[in-house]
Amino acid sequence: MKRFFIGLSLAITLLLTSCYSYNDINRMLFPIALVIDIDEEGNVLVSQEIFHSFRSQQENAEQGQRILYRRSGKSFLDVISKFEEMGAQPFSYTQNKIIIFTERAAKEGIKDYLDALHRNQDFLLRPYVAVYYGDVVELLNMEIKQNEYLGLYLFDLFDRPVERVTMQHLKLFEVLKKRRMGKNVLVITSITIDKNPLEDKIRKDGAAVFHNDKLVEKITTEEMKPYAFMVDRARAGFLDVPHPHGEDKLLTVQILKGNTVSDILYEDGKVILRQTINVRTSIVGTEASIVLDEETVRKIDASVQNTIKKNCHELFHKYKEKGIDIFDIQEMFHRKYPRLEVENAIEVTEYHLQIDHHIEGTTNVTSFR
């Protein structure tokens, strides 16, 4: 029994000493968003959004304050050291939620930044990574009504499940892992500011494509749909297809469930990528009236299959011509044929696609008018 109480006391002590006290928090600066940019002379610009906790003398309560810092230097770690020189309190990066690269920094290359973030023990590996297209000052000074802090807002935006076809949002440790696989191709979520007469909003804007740690291409919002199907990420969302009866009209189906089965074959010096996309949808909208008889349902089924197949083939051939393997074909090939060497598998790949589509819905509703 004595040993039990001693062990319990030690466990409680260890648990309690692992947390910050209120006094510790008040003596720390917590960056929750890092924005990495470069200027015209090639100097590194780092902007930080910081949470600073302090005790209000007037209200006698703990309060938080948003602080923006920006410094430049010859390297990323040089800038980080300058932040330490100017801060009245030490910096703690344990609460950082996102690392944002600007388009300009991404085009120059992110290798040195990733290496520094990986090697420096002050930084964690769990923040999300994104590429921003736009003006940094406008991004940091933007008023976000849903959350005062940009870092927390983007964390919620990336972390919540979305009801549309999208990609996996990568965290830093996933970026570090994927850049060493296949042909060193990364697909990272991109963001931008959506100009609106009522209120400007920050939104996801497709994805940035990196090859050898440099930004080389961008997947548009529309291209994200076939990309999600091809990399087995189409779990939910909406898809517009041609209306079976009305010219220049669209019919909308909701993706209820989807999965993609992929296989790689190697024959006569060619790589064959075979994919079967299994998808279940439901009709949710139409721009023209429609009667859902058997013939119409067959036409809708064919229209959905043709739309998915056409978009997937177009996206595949676009990146095959560029020689950029955004579909992880090289990695799949290496796992199946570890003793065979193919320099760039996507350049010699044939794409075979089969669609298994099923329309679900109540039999009581037969028309949309």
Mean pLDDT by 10 residues, the chain (369 residues): 58 55 67 96 95 64 80 94 84 95 97 95 95 96 90 92 75 94 94 89 94 96 94 90 86 93 95 97 90 90 96 98 96 94 95 96 54
> Do the bridges between strand 201-211 and strand 185-194 make them parallel or antiparallel, or are there none, so unpaired?
antiparallel
Maximum separation of any 2 CA atoms in the chain, in Å: 83
Please tell me the distance from the alpha carbon of residue 132 to that of residue 154, in angstroms, as a whole number.
12
Q: Give pLDDT, residue 15.
A: 57
Q: Give pLDDT, residue 9.
A: 63
> Do the bridges between strand 367-368 and strand 290-291 make them parallel or antiparallel, or are there none, so unpaired?
antiparallel
Residue-range domains of the chain with CATH: 20-220 (no CATH), 222-369 (3.30.300.210)
Please tell me the distance from the alpha carbon of residue 16 to that of residue 335, in angstroms, as a whole number.
45
Please tell me the distance from the alpha carbon of residue 107 to that of residue 191, in angstroms, as a whole number.
15
> Do the bridges between strand 270-286 and strand 250-267 make them parallel or antiparallel, or are there none, so unpaired?
antiparallel
Q: Give pLDDT, residue 53.
A: 77
Q: Give pLDDT, residue 363.
A: 45
